[in-house]
Every structure is written in structure tokens, then in C-alpha cells.
Structure 1
């Protein structure tokens, strides 16, 4: 089980780069869904955004720590 990685000589937890990539993907996906008008059909947009981020973060974490 990988507990930490080395990136440019800096040791960091494996979850940190996954978190950063998930945040960037969430921002891009949020912009696409906003432009498409998906949030007009969602009951609570803030809760929906949080759930999408949790899914984006959890899937790679489960694949790594499997």
C-alpha cells in the first residue's frame, strides 16, 4: 500500500495529488455543467457539487488503496 510519494524531491501523502487533481477536474466539470444548465434541474446545487467532488476524489483513492 503506497503511503507517500516523492514529487520533485518532496515526500507527500498519496492523497494530496489526488485531491489537487480532483479539485481541478471539479472546477472544470462545474463550469461545463453550469454552462449546460444542469444546475437548473438540481434541487440543491451546493450539495450536488459536493457529492460530485466526493465521487471524483473517492474513485481514484479506492483504486489505489485496493
Structure 2
């Protein structure tokens, strides 16, 4: 996979696109967790959301750059 992708003649790092995809996936997963009420068993929801974003983006980065 290339390290940079050209979008409208501007080079964008691949990791930025992975972060945006990870943020979208995390937001969707967060909505599902909120609608099902599973945040009642989470100690600190904001910390859980941040950790989830880091884990998802890390997994996407490992999948692409491996």
C-alpha cells in the first residue's frame, strides 16, 4: 500500500484516511452501544470511547501496513 494517496492533486497520508475510517466506525459502534444501553456497565464512557478509537485505528493501521 502506498504511503501517500493523491486526492485532487494533493498528497494525503494513508494513515490520515485510516484514522477517518476508524473514527467513522467508532462513531457507528458508539451509537450502537448507546442505543442498547451497554454504557451502563462501563466505568468511564468517555475514556472507553477514546480507547475504542485508539484500538480501531491501531488495528486498521496494522492491517494495512503489514
TM-score where L is the length of structure 2: 0.86
Residue in 1 aligned with 2:11? 11
Aligned length: 66
SS at match of 2:42: coil
Question: CA offsets, 1:15-45, max 9 Å, x none?
Answer: 1111111111111111110011111001111
> Which ranges in structure 1 are unaligned for 5 or more consecutive residues?
none
Superposed counterparts of 1:1-66, under 5 Å? 2-66=2-66
In the alignment, structure 2 segments of 5+ residues that lack a partner are none
The CA RMSD over aligned residues, in Å, is 1.4
SS in 2 for 1:12: strand
Distance in structure 2 (CA, Å) of the matches to 1:42 and 1:61: 26
